[in-house]
């Protein structure tokens, strides 16, 4: 079998396995977010938290709960990192420096998991499992909860009620993320991923050198890192580390886990609005964009353009032998199409155009399929914009799944779409203007790519990096922390406001003038709007970075 055939089979098998669970798993998620009964564990949690699970929240109440929970998360994680040297299992590491602790606290609470540090030499086991991994769970649950609130906005009418954040948070965690993480972690452990509390084992190698075999609760953290589209690695080299991702089949499983929830969520949308075909259209948009991107990334990497890949004979720098070029490229595309940001190979050493694809994936808004929850609400916002644009073109009233897209709705959608590009472009410009781009490892256009990648990754809550750039400085940690914070919570507030506006409306009956939003034409239009919005916004910046390098 040629490497190319093997690579194609890798992608096909993932697609088949995702399609096979789309319906059953999507239906499970639907029951989780729409059921009325509470398990004993959940009732215990509500009692401890002190909330009434039957109480409904308005969009404002829901947003205040999300923001309060996130604020407390950031502060608690900041405290844990600053105090880790006084706690157990610190492995002798110092307290994390203030600007670094701020960056990491924001990074993990916002589902970004950008890492300025090397885990194996900065974070003790307690900080990893009780600080970082907890945020892996709850930040994913927050994203999914916000998406569910938006879906309720479409599904409900003449009401201010969008559900209860605390109930959504608890149910998603207890019924979806935790059981699947246990299964995922067990599978990874069977593959060889470590799971212990070792402080390191000194060995003498065959030739008499020394090597420290590191340990830690890695499998438990890896599983939720992928399932929750978080991406923060236990160690510096993330999923390239043989202790995190030991075999070629664990690599397949890792890609599968990170795509599983985002690709199943459109089913929940279809079920909640009572028209499964609307969900099919959304998943089709995701699939078209994802397949195109995976194909392009893989082709660019396999073709190995560029001076160094030509000298080497393959784009193998920064890639593991066991994953080869194609399985690495597929991972890279999947991790940037979602908001994961885990890496099994180093994007900085990719071919210019292959590296550009990872950036373009994030710039698309991470909607194909995007992060847990965040991908679905991002794509629904783009669908709203598409019906508006289409309505303008053909003179029809813009409507989407029975809701009018009026002035207020389109204002919220537009604000949503503007946040990330504004943060990326202003941030990258500020870095260059203040000379902080000088910490880039590479030179020329590739140095700009490193800066642009950093701000794209932070602002769209991805967390992967062109990792050559040194970002452990007060300026970088502060600036990227702000981008992560604003890039997460501004869109969430706009989405919840949109949900509130939609829920208040009375449903519009389908008429002759309604644009069908479940046909291939609409799918094509959403794809077009997504790509054009990105192309118009980011092309000039890309032209100075990866395009200048690659063409």
Partner 1 sequence: MRLPTWLAPHLAALRALLVLTALLGLAYPLALVAVGRLPGLAGKADGSLVTVDGVPVGSTLLGQSFTDAEGNPVPRYFQSRPSAAGDGYDPTATAASNLGPESVVDTTATDPADATPSLLTRVCQRSRAVGERDGVDGRRPYCTPDGVGAVLAVFRRDGLTGPATRVVSVNQVPPATPFLTSYEGVPVELAQPGRDYVAAGGLVTPIRGDAPAQPAVPADAVTASGSGLDPHISPAYAGIQVDRVARARGADPAAVRRLVARHTSGRSLGFLGAPTVNVLELNIALDRHLPAR
Q: Find the binder of partner 1 among 4, 39, 201, 434 (CB under 8 A).
A: 201
Could you write out the DSSP letters of every residue in 281-339?
HHHHHHHHHHHHHHHHHHHHHHHT-SHHHHHHTSS-TT--TTTHHHHHHHHHHHHHHTT
**180-206 as b/e: b if 16+ CB within 10 A:** bbeebbebbbebebbbeeeeeeeeeee
Q: Mask 398-437, x = binds partner 1 (CB under 8 A)?
A: ----------------------------------------
Would you say 458 and 339 are in contact if contact means Cβ atoms under 8 Å apart?
no
Tell me if 276 contacts partner 1 by CB under 8 A.
no
Nearer to partner 1, 140 or 533 (CB): 140
Nearer to partner 1, 68 or 539 (CB): 68
Tell me if 108 contacts partner 1 by CB under 8 A.
no
Min separation Cβ 436 and partner 1, Å: 18
Tell me if 129 contacts partner 1 by CB under 8 A.
yes
Query: Distance of CA 273 to CAs 121, 175, 440, Å?
Result: 48, 22, 48
Q: Find the binder of partner 1 among 78, 116, 256, 350 (CB under 8 A).
A: 350
Would you say 527 and 289 are in contact if contact means Cβ atoms under 8 Å apart?
yes
Number of shown-chain residues binding partner 1 (CB under 8 A):
123
Min separation Cβ 400 and partner 1, Å: 31
Q: Mask 479-518, x = binds partner 1 (CB under 8 A)?
A: ----------------------------------------
Which residues inside 202-221 make contact with partner 1, applying CB under 8 A? 203-209, 211-215, 217, 219-221
Q: Decide the pairing of beta strands 201-204 and 210-213.
A: antiparallel
Tell me if 349 contacts partner 1 by CB under 8 A.
yes
Nearer to partner 1, 216 or 378 (CB): 216
Run of H or E including 377: helix 374-394
Q: Mask 46-75, x = binds partner 1 (CB under 8 A)?
A: --xxxx------------xx--xx-xxx--
CA distance 403 to 398: 9
Would you say 320 and 514 are in contact if contact means Cβ atoms under 8 Å apart?
no
Q: How many angstroms separate the most distant Cα atoms in the chain?
A: 80
Nearer to partner 1, 372 or 419 (CB): 372
Tell me if 182 contacts partner 1 by CB under 8 A.
yes
CA distance 444 to 437: 11
Neighbours of 222 (CB within 10 A): 33
Tell me if 84 contacts partner 1 by CB under 8 A.
no
CA distance 337 to 367: 7
Min separation Cβ 295 and partner 1, Å: 17
Min separation Cβ 351 and partner 1, Å: 5
Nearer to partner 1, 279 or 306 (CB): 306
Stretch that binds partner 1, among 245-253, 427-435, 454-462, 474-482 (CB under 8 A): 245-253
Would you say 220 and 243 are in contact if contact means Cβ atoms under 8 Å apart?
no
CA distance 283 to 297: 21
Q: Pick the closest to residue 508 from 400, 383, 412 (CA basis).
A: 400
Which residues inside 310-329 make contact with partner 1, applying CB under 8 A? 310-324, 327-328
Tell me if 32 contacts partner 1 by CB under 8 A.
no
């Amino acid at each position: 079998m040629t490497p190319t055939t093997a690579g194609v089979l890798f992608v096909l098998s993932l697609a088949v396995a995702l399609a096979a669970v789309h319906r059953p798993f999507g239906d499970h998620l639907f029951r989780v977010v729409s059921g009325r009964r509470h398990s004993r564990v959940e009732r215990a949690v509500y009692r401890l938290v002190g909330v009434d699970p039957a109480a409904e929240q308005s969009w404002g109440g829901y947003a205040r709960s999300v923001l309060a929970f996130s604020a407390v998360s950031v502060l608690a994680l900041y405290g844990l990192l600053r105090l880790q040297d006084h706690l157990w299992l610190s492995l002798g590491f110092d307290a994390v420096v203030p600007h670094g602790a701020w960056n990491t606290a924001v990074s993990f609470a916002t589902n970004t998991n950008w890492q300025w540090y090397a885990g194996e030499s900065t974070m003790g086991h307690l900080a990893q499992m009780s600080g970082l991994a907890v945020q892996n769970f709850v930040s994913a649950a927050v994203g999914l909860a916000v998406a569910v609130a938006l879906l309720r906005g479409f599904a409900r009418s003449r009401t201010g009620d969008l559900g209860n954040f605390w109930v959504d948070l608890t149910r998603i965690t207890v019924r979806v993320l935790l059981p699947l993480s246990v299964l995922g972690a067990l599978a990874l452990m069977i593959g060889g991923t470590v799971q212990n509390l070792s402080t390191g084992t000194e060995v003498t190698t065959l030739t008499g050198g020394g090597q420290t075999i590191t340990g830690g609760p890695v499998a438990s953290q890896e599983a939720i890192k992928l399932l929750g589209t978080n991406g923060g690695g236990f160690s510096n080299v993330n999923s390239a580390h043989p202790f995190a991702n030991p075999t070629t089949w664990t690599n397949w499983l890792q890609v599968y886990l990170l795509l599983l929830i985002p690709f199943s969520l459109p089913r929940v949308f279809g079920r909640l609005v009572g028209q499964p075909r609307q969900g099919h259209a959304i998943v089709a948009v995701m699939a078209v964009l994802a397949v195109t991107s995976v194909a392009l990334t893989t082709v660019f990497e396999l073709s190995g353009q560029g001076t160094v890949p030509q000298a080497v004979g393959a784009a193998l720098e920064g890639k593991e032998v066991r994953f080869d070029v194609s399985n690495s490229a597929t991972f890279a595309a999947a991790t940037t199409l979602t908001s994961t940001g885990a890496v099994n190979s180093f994007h900085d050493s990719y071919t210019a155009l292959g590296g550009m694809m990872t950036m373009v994936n994030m710039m698309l808004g991470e909607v194909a399929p995007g992060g847990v929850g965040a991908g679905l609400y991002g794509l629904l916002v783009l669908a709203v914009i598409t019906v508006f644009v289409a309505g303008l073109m053909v003179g029809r009233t813009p409507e989407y799944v029975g809701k009018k897209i009026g002035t207020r709705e389109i204002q919220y959608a537009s604000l949503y779409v503007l946040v990330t590009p504004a943060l990326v472009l202003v941030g990258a410009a500020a870095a260059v203007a203040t000379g902080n781009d000088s910490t880039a490892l590479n030179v020329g256009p590739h140095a700009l790519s490193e800066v642009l990648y950093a701000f794209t990754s932070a602002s769209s809550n991805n967390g992967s990096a062109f990792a050559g750039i040194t970002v452990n400085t007060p300026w970088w940690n502060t600036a990227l922390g702000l981008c992560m914070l604003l890039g997460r919570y501004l869109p969430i507030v706009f989405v919840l406001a949109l949900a509130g506006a939609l829920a208040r409306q009375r449903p519009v009956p389908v008429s002759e003038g309604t644009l069908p939003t479940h046909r291939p034409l609409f799918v094509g239009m959403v794809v077009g709007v997504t790509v054009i919005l990105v192309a118009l916004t980011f092309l000039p910046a890309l032209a100075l970075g990866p395009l200048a390098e690659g063409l």
